[in-house]
Amino acid sequence: MSTPPLSTPPLGTPLTRNQMAWRAAQDLADGAYVNLGLGMPVLAANYAPAEREIFYHSENGILGVGPVALPGQGDPELVDAGSQLVTLRDGASVFDSVASFAMIRGGHLDITILGAFQVAANGDLANWDALSAEKGPLIGGAMDLSMGAKAVHIIMRHTTREGEARLVTACSYPLTVRGRVNRVYTDLAVLDIEQGQLVVREIIPGLRHDELAAVTDAPLTFAADCRELIAPDLDGGI
Amino acid sequence: MSTPPLSTPPLGTPLTRNQMAWRAAQDLADGAYVNLGLGMPVLAANYAPAEREIFYHSENGILGVGPVALPGQGDPELVDAGSQLVTLRDGASVFDSVASFAMIRGGHLDITILGAFQVAANGDLANWDALSAEKGPLIGGAMDLSMGAKAVHIIMRHTTREGEARLVTACSYPLTVRGRVNRVYTDLAVLDIEQGQLVVREIIPGLRHDELAAVTDAPLTFAADCRELIAPDLDGGI
Amino acid sequence: MINKVVGDLAAAMAGIQSDASIMISGFSNAGVPTTLVRALGAMNLTGLTLIMNAARRIDECDASLFNDRRVDHVITTAFRGPEAAPANFEQQWKRGELSLEILPQGTFAERIRAGGAGIPAFFSPTAVGTSLVEGREQRDFNGQTYVLEEALTADFALLRAQKADRHGNLFFRGTQANFGSAMATAARTTIVEVAEISETGLRPEEIHLPGIYVQRVLQAPRQDQIA
Amino acid sequence: MINKVVGDLAAAMAGIQSDASIMISGFSNAGVPTTLVRALGAMNLTGLTLIMNAARRIDECDASLFNDRRVDHVITTAFRGPEAAPANFEQQWKRGELSLEILPQGTFAERIRAGGAGIPAFFSPTAVGTSLVEGREQRDFNGQTYVLEEALTADFALLRAQKADRHGNLFFRGTQANFGSAMATAARTTIVEVAEISETGLRPEEIHLPGIYVQRVLQAPRQDQIA
């Protein structure tokens, strides 16, 4: 899709869900093979620059997922990992779960973008077990994807609804994978994980470095060329 | 093909190659999935009773090998494990070597018929390494097939050209597999391997039990219902 | 002559008894053998082991399997109901009425594949460093740590495909294959419901799963999964 | 835009250097990348490791690889010439001029598959009890003995297929796939010669190997393997 004009929100305004997804999508290279997790990650497919050719992988057995089918035109036997009735893009292939996870585990996907409860400064990821007393466990493909993809990018809000940091020194939730996260997109910043350090690459305009550090539970390093994190208005001015 | 009339060769005449293959073919059940090794085993496909539907597996990736292609009509990219240009039968499928050997190793083939240098009374098989001082080694699919198939049937002459026994107490040639041979078809007899014993089920007319024992290097047990081994004339009266 | 097509559900389900282990194909709404699962629910068995990607999908298909306590053990990648309130099967697990083995989806698929391919065990990188592998055998290869995973097999596999022929060859539509093609190789008896029986036989280029892995085929229309 | 089609042999073979490990597809006359093998022979490299089903087929394709002592190590299932007299490559092995790892065909295939699938090692029943596994790690599962087999990977894979498109998707004709489809997953760079380039792109139901596993595609007519 065409890129909307950049917005000029009030200083210090956190990114919306769509804006975080948009920012993550800008890092998908032409020709990349990419798996998008449920929730915010899957929104990134809406915002990749149109001139780049990107193959979206769905772990239930598609390489080259196309747009969601129009209402009434989908095939209930052709779904993506999020249970949506999807279409196939030009050059797509379909295979079984064994082949799909061999592709994942074998290190053939360039990037997976996943959601998270917590990410630690050492690259640990916690995104599968919310420690609910009532609900059963659900792992799905997250452990395979985060271990197998060449790069692991995370989209998550910088803090919980209760204001607790999600970027931490050590995850308190059960781990999905150790030491595999490369980059994190939050509503406040873009951070790389390098040698066990959180390196801030971009920060939203109007947020001071110490304010970002105050909502982060691990030491932050600010890149020498740390830039402003600015996303277009994708939500109709909301 | 239709079954030719039974021959009445002179008493004590060993079976020909075609007759050994014919005898082995009579034990292929309707609906069986069968892999035939190079040499005499592959001849068995010519002699299976026509009313039985048998799926021949070729380890390079065919289930349902049909007849060899007519001269000039074969596809050089469609070959069997013996490098013949083949056709596909009704219901055939084609796949890669990984899938083919998963089928073999996973125990899905009903029978493999193989050639052998030696078979031991404990079911050991030696058929890959002739201990040539000059030639390089060749394993191919024999180790996988003899380990994986539900039943391992062997076609071989009862003795070497030099008159040495091939049915032995312990193989002197390097082993292909241990303890997996179920049945052996020779030019003199049909033998089952049961609890480490060679049990003679059929013997050619005119050959005495002690004469068979004399060309066998392991003790023989003759089945109570041991029958005559009689095959049709398949070689034009030769 | 080979003819794996059976005429009715009773013939399709014959021999499934209490205490059986049963693999069930399906990812989301694709490849779920709705007719066979409902027939299983109607069989009044106990002590079943169910091996499927997501418990929720089977529960939606036939709630009696869990509600009537037919299931003793589950091997799955997702044991969570769709609502905030716990589903009946989640409650049973919390109460200790059924046991659960929860796996990463790729490990689940590869263990089933191993079961069909004669591989008793393999090393995997997935889940290393997590609570799932605590106390289990791990080993380093080329500087990375892997965990030993063992093959999964079952007495029966229940699949849905689009087309079959009398030889049991299968054609899957869309993403129908998912775990089913591996489950068919790992079960002693594989039972498949299909939309169409091809009278002329599938062409080699149409066949996703060779008939050697299929014992019974039943024609059954696609049903919505949620009853 | 993705375009994996290269215009000439030089572009196809770029970056292959001495001491490289190279997987080569082919079983008998099917799926042998004759054009690529001959180009490899013309590159005047040394210290190569070749990983292919049968040495004879590659020797028939381009005798210079062995005759000119380009190959230091071979991993194969068949290292035997077609004549009673030993072939040049057999003599080199007997003289100790090259080293050899000889494998059962299924183990060969599965080790390559493991290399592409992120499985560093697995247990196999094949060859247990034979001289091939003497001194190697073995273990019992369910009362049967298995041997530990490690994954095979390579720097390059050379394949032949019938059709490709700009995305690198492949369609194999007949029994062309054999070891090639697994080799493509296990090599860092996969180079494929094909009879046809599909301008419209392969349809999903035609694709045997997804283009993610293919880096370069070259159109080249089928040549008889024996020069």
Which tokens hold the place of D90?
């057999």
Query: Which helix (DSSP H) or strand (DSSP E) does residue D109 occupy?
Result: helix D105-117
Q: Do the Cβ atoms of C1 and C147 come closer than 8 Å?
A: no
The DSSP result for B154-200, as a single string, is: EE--SB-TT--BSEESS-SSPPSBSS-EEEEE-SSEEEEEETTEEEE
Q: How far is D190 from D184, CA to CA, in rounded Å?
A: 5
Beta strand pairing call for C21-24 and C48-52: parallel
Grouping H, G, I as helix, E, B as strand and the rest as coil, residue D60 is helix
**pLDDT tens column, C18-31:** 999 999 999 998 99
Is A38 domain-assigned?
Answer: yes
Residue A185: φ, ψ to 5°: -105, 120
pLDDT greater than 50 at residue C139: yes
pLDDT in tens, B72-110: 999 999 999 999 999 999 999 999 999 999 999 999 999
Q: Is the pLDDT of residue A4 over 60?
A: no
Which chain A residues touch C81 with a CB distance below 8 Å? 135-136
Residue B40 belongs to some domain of the structure: yes
Question: How many residues in chain C?
Answer: 227
Give the per-residue pLDDT at B236. Answer: 79
Which pLDDT value is given to residue B132? 85
- Nearest alpha-carbon partner for A77 in B107, D170, C178: C178
Cβ–Cβ gap C124/D118 under 8 Å: yes
Give the rounded percent of residues in chain C with a pLDDT score beyond 90: 96
D83: left (phi over 0), alpha (psi -120 to 50) or beta: beta
Q: Which pLDDT band holds residue A7 (cuts at 50, 70, 90)? A: low
Q: Note whether B185 and B153 are within 8 A (CB).
A: yes
Query: Is A11 a domain residue?
Result: no
Measured CA to CA, the distance from residue B235 to residue B16 in angstroms comes to 8
CB-closest option in D2, D204, D210 to A31: D2
State the amino acid at position C215 in one-letter form. Answer: Q
Residue A83: inside a domain: yes
In percent, the amount of chain B with pLDDT more than 90 equals 91
Residue of B nearest to C201 (CA): B91
| CA nearest neighbour of C121 among C150, C95, C100, C144 | C150
Map residue B49 onto helix, strand or coil. coil
Amino acid identity for residue C122 in this structure: F
Can you give the pLDDT at residue B28?
A: 98
The pTM assigned to this predicted structure is 0.97
Read off the pLDDT of each residue in C197-213 and give the average, rounded to a whole number: 97
pLDDT above 70 covers a percentage of chain A that reads 96
- E strands present in chain B: 33-36, 55-58, 62-68, 86-94, 111-114, 118-120, 125-126, 151-155, 167-168, 181-185, 189-194, 197-203, 220-228
Q: Give residue B1's pLDDT.
A: 46
Query: Quick check: is A59 in a domain?
Result: yes
Q: Could you give the angle at which helices B97-105 and D105-117 cross, rounded to 10 degrees? A: 120
Q: Which two tokens stand for residue A9?
A: 């929100």
Residues of A in contact with D213 (CB under 8 A): 108
Q: Which residues pair with C48 in a beta bridge?
A: C71
User: Nearest CA of chain C to the CA of A214: how many Å?
Assistant: 29
Helix axes C105-117, A97-105, angle to 10 degrees: 120
Name the least confident of A1-5, A180-184, B172-176: A1-5
* Among candidate residues A170, A192, A168, the one with its CA nearest the CA of residue A181: A192
Structure token digits, residue C4: 């794996």
Residue type, B137: P
B100 to chain D: which residues are within 8 Å by CB?
109
DSSP result, chain C: ----B-SSHHHHHTT--TT-EEEE--BTTBS--HHHHHHHHTT---SEEEEESBHHHHHHH-THHHHTT-EEEEEESB---SSSSPPHHHHHHHTTSSEEEE--HHHHHHHHHHHHHT--EEEE-TTTTSGGGTTS-EEEETTEEEEEEE---EEEEEEEEEEE-TT--EE--TT--TTHHHHHHHEEEEEEEEEEE-SS---GGG-SB-GGG-SEEEE-----S--
Tell if the CB–CB gap between D129 and B178 is shorter than 8 Å: yes
Q: How far is C204 from chain D (nearest CA, A)?
A: 10
Q: Could you tell me which chain A residue has the CA closest to the CA of D169? A: A91
Mean pLDDT of A64-88: 95
Contact list, B148 vs chain D (CB under 8 Å) = 106, 125-126
Q: What was the pLDDT predicted at A1? A: 45
| A11 band by pLDDT with thresholds 50, 70 and 90 | confident
**CB–CB of D185 and A108 under 8 A?**
yes
In a domain, A2, yes or no: no
Say how far apart CA C100 and CA C108 lie, in whole Å.
13
Q: Does D122 touch chain C (CB under 8 A)?
A: yes
Q: Which residues of C are less than 8 Å from B105 in CB distance?
A: 117-119
For position B9, what pLDDT does the model report?
73
Which of A38, A77, A125, A150 has the most C C-beta neighbours within 10 Å, making it the best mutation to test the interface with C?
A77
What 8-state DSSP symbol labels residue A45? G
Put simply, whether D112 touches C (Cβ < 8 Å) is no
Domain range enclosing B182: 17-228
- What integer pLDDT is reported at residue A46 of this predicted model? 94
Question: Nearest CA to CA, how far is B86 from chain D (Å)?
Answer: 10
pLDDT, mean of residues B12-30 = 97
Element (H, E) at A22: helix A17-25
| D174 has a chain C CB within 8 A of its CB | no
Q: Is the pLDDT of residue C180 over 50?
A: yes
Based on the residue annotation, tell me whether A59 is a catalytic residue of this protein: yes
Please, what are the domains in chain D?
5-12+19-119+151-219 (3.40.1080.10)
C98, C105, C123: best to mutate for the A interface, most A CBs within 10 A: C105
Cβ atoms within 10 Å, residue D86: 18
Is D141 at the interface with chain C, CB within 8 A? Answer: yes
The total domain count for chain B is: 1
Nearest to A57 by CA among A41, A73, A77: A41
Residue A132: pLDDT over 90: no
C68-96 tens-digit pLDDT: 999 999 999 999 999 999 999 999 999 99
Lowest mean pLDDT among A142-156, C182-196, D50-64, D213-227: D213-227
DSSP reduced 3-state for A230: coil
The per-residue pLDDT for range B36-56, each reduced to its tens digit, is 999 999 999 999 999 999 999
pLDDT beneath 50, residues of chain D: none
CATH number for the domain spanning B111: value is: 3.40.1080.10
The identity of residue B225, as a single letter, is D
Q: Which residue among the candidates A59, A162, A202, A228 is catalytic per the annotation?
A: A59
Residue pair A22/A2 in contact by the 8 Å Cβ criterion: no
Check whether B62 has a pLDDT greater than 70: yes
Q: Give the minimum alpha-carbon distance from B6 to chain D in angstroms, rounded to a whole number.
A: 38
pLDDT at A2 over 70: no
Confidence of residue C134 (pLDDT cuts 50, 70, 90): very high
Flag whether B82 is in a domain.
yes
Q: Which residues of C touch D123 (CB under 8 A)?
A: 119-122
Contacts of D among chains (3+ CB pairs under 8 A): A, B, C
Q: For residue D134, give how far its alpha carbon lies from the nearest alpha carbon of chain A (Å).
A: 30
B192 falls within a domain:
yes
Residue from A38, A62, A129, A144 whose CB has the most chain C CBs within 10 Å, to mutate: A144
Q: In a 3-state reduction of DSSP, which class is residue D200?
A: coil
Residue with tokens 């039990």: B209
